[in-house]
Amino acid sequence: FSSGFIGWLIGMAINIHSDYILRNLRKPGETGYKIPRGGMFEYVSGANFFGEILEWFGFALACCTIESLAFALCTLFILGSRAKQHHQWYLEKFEDYPKCRKIVIPFVY
């Protein structure tokens, strides 16, 4: 239970911090798109998605039920797909987008 709770807590912190970075990409009155930088965005394009995936896998570990694992897997597949679309869009939109960034799982995918 404790390991799952810690995973959930870390995932929530990553998710909140990533959302903060995304919300503050533009200053008031600015328009256009920018590359998110900082936090887990240094490693993956979908840092907020990674945080949420980690949250649900932590929850599944804490609960130890097949239903919670099924929910975590569904979250992984749905948000992983969204992260892949975002990653491809960033690569097409920005010539200087960091090529070393993964899609949603740091150092893996």
Residue labelled with tokens 């975002």:
86
Residues contacting residue 76 through CB under 8 Å, at least 6 positions apart: 53, 56, 57
pTM of the predicted protein model:
0.90
Please give the Cα distance from 72 to 75 (Å, whole number).
Answer: 5
Q: What are the pLDDT digits (tens) for 6-57?
A: 999 999 999 999 999 999 999 888 888 999 999 999 999 999 999 999 999 9
Question: Which residues lie closer than 8 Å to 52 by C-beta, 6 or more apart?
Answer: 11, 15, 75, 79
